[in-house]
Structure 1
């Protein structure tokens, strides 16, 4: 019995040693290792395999003192350890990664660690163009930032840019009232196109021609073109001045983009249609429905492009097509004049986009583009990006591609990165904040692993990030040095500060002794007030440091208008809140004597006493 017990102990010791070796091996794993380290690693692996064999020998004896259930669990554990050791010895070059919570681990084995270009197998998830969206209606970057950003896009596998200029384009002549005061100049646009060309990125301009025309219709000069006089979103398609305005914008875009192959004309979220007198009369005269009124305008704009710029294919967002029948789409020859961009930014594509929509599209359109999101789609006031959410969105899109890829040609994927929800909305996640999400999703769609739940080492390598990279807000801090990484770091610090402050205020002490009632009546226990507000000093100082560091980091990427707007949107409200809490704390701690209850009665009694005192003084 003594020998058997000893061997049982040896089993435990052996398993412990193997676990420690495995942990050390995981920590030390790297894509590139020196020859000395290779030798040391080989010796370590030999030692591990030797221990495994000893473990196998011991387990036969130790089974004599264990129950069958215990033996089964032990063998299962041993099998996992040995399999992991073998996998690690083969896939060591994969490098550092972070796993999404509650999901099965899958290892990508198609990364080339010898250079900066990502090498993928022939059978990748998506073989079409990969277009990165630049939403310039908010936080337009400096040209100098594009000089660093475009090579990064190319390394990550992007093939083009969807540039939504809005009021940042330098319209001139009759359109000179449209550009923002800080709009890009003509030379800036030429430089952007040059940078795109040398980085082999196709440029697709996006110009709104129906809905989301707030940047024009907000102006008094163009307000008469609104479909609804009080709402500046949608332009009236029936007004005689609408088409000349739109074609003038198209002509100026084309003048500076003479070599483009595709032009995106927007046309999404046309919420108000057929509501003005002109549109009502047009529908009556032509016996149109609102859908036909919509299609007439879209096709008319597309025909103009095809007539005067025959080598350019118009693209439109698809959402207004989804409720239309194939008969309506074919009646206006929609597939002849344009290609739709099917967009959806949530992970639930299977439930939110009915199969009937896809069957209609398969019947009508020979070519389709699809659009996902890498940022700017989880809330108009979100300033940190949820990578896991957007990865789920891309995974859902790859399911769609796998389902319909043999029936329709998916020309390209547009990875949108919205900077505002519309022209009037506040800034959401800044571009540098969303770069880790963009990188992860670009790499994912080029892989052959549909269930990828890891951030490959190559993403961390290109972005110069230390592992782990947080997949969701609040899961940790990023430590990166890619262009603009300081913006990401400051945003994450602000998010962490906000979380900590919310946690302090949700503590039972704050809920019981630091409420608006306590503050209004200057009535609380000082010891509890001190406890509830113990971190206010630190929060106050941390916010000052965040503002300083964010201002410095944003100066590299943006002009001072963008920096000022972001600070005013996200730092000032929190600063005001902390100052208010600080003043409340001081007010409560200034009290050293408190009245009898009820407090309202005490206040009334105090007011009566004060009134009598003033009366006596008057007499």
Structure 2
């Protein structure tokens, strides 16, 4: 019942100042129509005022009506979630989402399927029962890879490194020992390998920082450290290439079994072991393998699966508590039927690896659809260093961040159909046993920090280093981490090596600019030097900074040796300086000597020219 239908007096001035009307029952109908008329006048007045202040709103009136309808539908969908819990956090999230809709409408995104849709289309934004605004991008295990087949750090460095990894959100370590492990077969062990005491200390330090250790030992390809030796030459699949073992040779399983037993024995608390099996480039080529395939009517795929199954089955039978992991690349070419028939899913869990930002195109839907029908769970592997060039000595953090971002997009796409158990952040130290060193671990540590911290964020579009990463690295200017050749002035363990590598990069860049200059290209070429024939003024211009570059390189060498001494042994220091500093020093010295010879000239011969060492008197 409306108020003005009552017998008692109702004063309209309570709602509309300036009026003083008393309504009695017999006049209720007249007053009712009068009120309607007044309301219409008021509405018309407000519309006119709104048009004066914001003509765009009137022109977009249809859009606003559509907004209200979509907002209503969206809130109805959200209310489905509200039935789960009516917590304060859910109410706050609902208001926040309404605000997003209004904001998007003002930006012209009305009707965008990215903003408004059914509950299923927005469920990625809807909080779970234990709602948290900072749900990390990746909830599985976050394992950091330590590649020890090049530049193995001193054990004391791990005491500083492991707390950083743990603070950044790491949950474990994948340690690839290669020849740095004290095997029973001493000839497999490098002369500067870790001792058993060292291994136990590394595991102890990891445990103190809540990091699970997963050992990795190659068992098929990438066995150069063994097959390079004369003693094991007969185990090669292809005699001239010491990379892949022959899976049909009886001696192969025996030596691999011994290495596995040695490693597993020293890692009694580990729940996983990684047996490699990636990049098996040579397979089914030796006479033993050909005979085996003919006898069993196998393809090369069957031969591969047979060897992996033997290794994995041995581990599962002798160490039943261990889960066996392998790299997945050789599985990608297998069909669904081949994978199912092999029953390989009962023996191993695959680690799907890809180190580029284009993984969504390189690892298509068909792969994940196949794996989801075979494996109960998979792991993935990104890279934080050692994947952009075999001779790189500084890390492109932006490139690796995009690799991790692409992985998180892919995980979000396929997480409804496949379980992603964990991610390995690989940090390669050599491309293989014979390759030179690439980025040292301290040089790649800022990249590890940025990318590991990124996985703990909730925003997949986050750019640049997080506050968490820069704080843990103790950097004055975190933004500079993303740029090549710029120092962020950090003080993390090994930061002096990182600084020296950046200085070396800048020196190389400056030298390249010098050699690209017109005066250098036109008057200080190999021909000019050979003939000792050039314009002294142009040579002086071309080599004006040469003396400064020589001095800078001497300072870099001195500083990097001092910094590396605390973390690496003399063999690693010698290899790094021989690879990256001595060749540059030789180049600078040759240019300096050529410059001095040309500038010492005071007269020049007639053309045609002959080399200075072939010139006869009088020419």
Alignment of 1:297-316 (within 5 A): 297-316=307-326
1:403 maps to which residue?
413
- 2:295 equivalent to 1:285: yes
**Offset from partner CA, 1:37-94 (integer Å, 9 cap, x none):** xxxxxxxxxxxxxxxxxxxxxxxxxxxxxxxxxxxxxxxxxxxxxxxxxxxxxxxxxx
SS in 2 for 1:383: coil
Alignment of 1:368-447 (within 5 A): 368-447=378-457
- 2:160 equivalent to 1:151: no
> Is the 2:273–2:322 contact (alpha carbons within 8 Å) kept by the matching residues of 1?
yes
**Offset from partner CA, 1:308-343 (integer Å, 9 cap, x none):** 000000000000000101111111111100000000
Deviation at 1:468, TM superposition (A): 3.9
2:176 to 155, 164, 168: 164
- 2:461 equivalent to 1:461: no
TM-score normalised by L of structure 2: 0.77
Counterparts of 1:408 and 1:393, CA distance in 2: 20
1:230 to 224, 230, 240: 240
Alignment of 1:602-613 (within 5 A): 607=616
Counterparts of 1:141 and 1:288, CA distance in 2: 44
**Offset from partner CA, 1:166-216 (integer Å, 9 cap, x none):** 0000002xx111000000000000000000001000000000000000000
Shift >2 Å, 4+ stretches: 120-123, 468-475, 600-604, 606-610
Deviation at 1:608, TM superposition (A): 7.1
> Is the 1:226–1:235 contact (alpha carbons within 8 Å) kept by the matching residues of 2?
yes
Structure 1 pair 303/519, CA: closer, same or farther in 2 (3 Å)? Answer: same
Which structure has more relative contact order (CA 8 Å, sep 6+)? It is: 1
1:250 maps to which residue?
260
Counterparts of 2:282 and 2:402, CA distance in 1: 32
Could you say what the CA RMSD is over the residues aligned between the two structures, in angstroms? Answer: 1.7
Counterparts of 2:149 and 2:540, CA distance in 1: 46
2:11 maps to which residue?
none
Counterparts of 2:381 and 2:560, CA distance in 1: 31
2:459 maps to which residue?
449
> Is the 2:474–2:490 contact (alpha carbons within 8 Å) kept by the matching residues of 1?
yes
**Offset from partner CA, 1:262-316 (integer Å, 9 cap, x none):** 0000000000000000000110111110001000000110001100000000000
Give the structure with higher Rg (CA): 2
Structure 1 pair 608/459, CA: closer, same or farther in 2 (3 Å)? Answer: closer
Counterparts of 1:502 and 1:417, CA distance in 2: 28
Counterparts of 1:470 and 1:276, CA distance in 2: 52
2:99 maps to which residue?
none
Counterparts of 1:405 and 1:437, CA distance in 2: 26
> Is the 1:595–1:602 contact (alpha carbons within 8 Å) kept by the matching residues of 2?
no
**Offset from partner CA, 1:440-476 (integer Å, 9 cap, x none):** 1111111110111121222111101111443455352
Return 355-364 or 286-295, whichever deviates more.
355-364
SS in 1 for 2:213: strand
Counterparts of 2:590 and 2:485, CA distance in 1: 29
Counterparts of 2:298 and 2:492, CA distance in 1: 53
Counterparts of 2:480 and 2:395, CA distance in 1: 10
1:49 maps to which residue?
none
> Is the 2:485–2:506 contact (alpha carbons within 8 Å) kept by the matching residues of 1?
no
> Is the 1:225–1:239 contact (alpha carbons within 8 Å) kept by the matching residues of 2?
yes
1:177 to 172, 175, 187: 187
Deviation at 1:601, TM superposition (A): 10
Alignment of 1:564-579 (within 5 A): 564-579=574-589
> Is the 1:132–1:416 contact (alpha carbons within 8 Å) kept by the matching residues of 2?
yes
1:562 maps to which residue?
572
State the number of aligned residues: 490
SS in 2 for 1:216: helix
> Is the 1:121–1:447 contact (alpha carbons within 8 Å) kept by the matching residues of 2?
no
**Offset from partner CA, 1:474-508 (integer Å, 9 cap, x none):** 35223111000011000000000000011011111
SS in 2 for 1:483: coil
2:144 to 118, 127, 132: 132
TM-score normalised by L of structure 1: 0.77
SS in 1 for 2:314: helix
- 2:379 equivalent to 1:338: no
SS in 2 for 1:342: strand
2:5 maps to which residue?
none
Structure 2: state its 5+ residue gaps: 1-131
2:7 maps to which residue?
none
1:327 to 314, 324, 337: 337
> Is the 2:148–2:180 contact (alpha carbons within 8 Å) kept by the matching residues of 1?
yes
Counterparts of 1:351 and 1:397, CA distance in 2: 11
2:154 maps to which residue?
142
- 2:560 equivalent to 1:550: yes
